[in-house]
C-alpha cells in the first residue's frame, strides 16, 4: 500500500451504514469562500421539500470552477451536526474523492434524480 492510499475501514453492520443519511441535491449557488482556512467554495444546495436548502463549505476549488457548479447534482451527508467553518455554518458534508494529486473531485451521478433521494 502506498503512502497515498488509505486502509479500508473496519467492517460495519448494515444498520450502521443506514445511520449515515446521504442525499442528492442540486447546487443553487456557488461562491468563493476566502475566509476558509483551506481553499473552498460556499455552496447552497437544494435537497428537496423534506430536507430543504442547506449550506456547505467544499474544498473543491482545484478540480471545479464556480461557473460549472450551479445546477449540478451532488451527494452529501445531511445528518451530521452543523460545523462552524470561519464565519459560516456548514450544514452538510458534500462528498467527493481524491484524484491522483489529492484534489477533491465531486462524487457524481450518471443520470439526474429527484432532489432529496437517499443513497442505498
Give the per-residue pLDDT at 4: 60
DSSP 36: S
Nearest to residue 94, comparing CAs of 67, 55, 61?
A: 55
pLDDT, tens digit (0-9, with 9 covering 90-100), for 10-37: 999 999 999 999 999 999 999 999 999 9
Gap between the Cα atoms of 78 and 46, Å rounded: 11
Q: Is the pLDDT of residue 7 over 80?
A: yes
Domain ranges of the chain: 22-106
Strands 73-77 and 93-94, how do they pair? antiparallel
Summarised one tens digit per residue, pLDDT across range 49-61 is: 999 999 999 999 9
Nearest one of 100, 115, 102 to 59, comparing CA atoms: 102
42 exposure class (CB count in 10 Å sphere: 0-12, 13-18, 19+): buried
Tell me the CATH architecture of domain 22-106: Beta Barrel (2.40)
Which tens digit of pLDDT belongs to each residue from 64-120? 999 999 999 999 999 999 999 999 999 999 999 999 999 999 999 999 999 999 998
Instruction: Report the pLDDT value the prediction gives residue 2, as an integer from 0 to 100.
Output: 45
**Structure confidence at residue 3 (pLDDT):** 45
Amino acid at each position: 500500500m502506498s503512502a497515498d492510499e488509505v486502509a479500508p475501514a473496519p467492517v460495519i453492520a448494515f444498520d450502521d451504514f443506514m445511520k449515515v443519511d446521504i442525499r442528492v441535491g442540486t447546487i443553487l449557488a456557488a461562491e468563493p469562500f476566502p475566509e476558509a482556512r483551506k481553499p473552498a467554495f460556499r455552496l447552497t444546495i437544494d435537497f428537496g421539500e423534506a430536507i430543504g436548502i442547506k449550506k456547505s463549505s467544499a474544498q473543491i476549488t482545484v478540480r471545479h470552477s464556480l461557473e460549472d457548479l450551479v445546477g449540478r447534482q451532488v451527494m452529501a451527508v445531511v445528518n451530521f451536526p452543523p460545523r462552524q467553518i470561519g464565519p459560516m455554518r456548514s450544514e452538510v458534508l458534500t462528498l467527493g474523492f481524491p484524484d491522483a494529486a489529492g484534489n477533491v473531485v465531486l462524487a457524481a451521478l450518471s443520470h439526474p434524480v429527484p432532489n432529496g433521494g437517499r443513497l442505498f
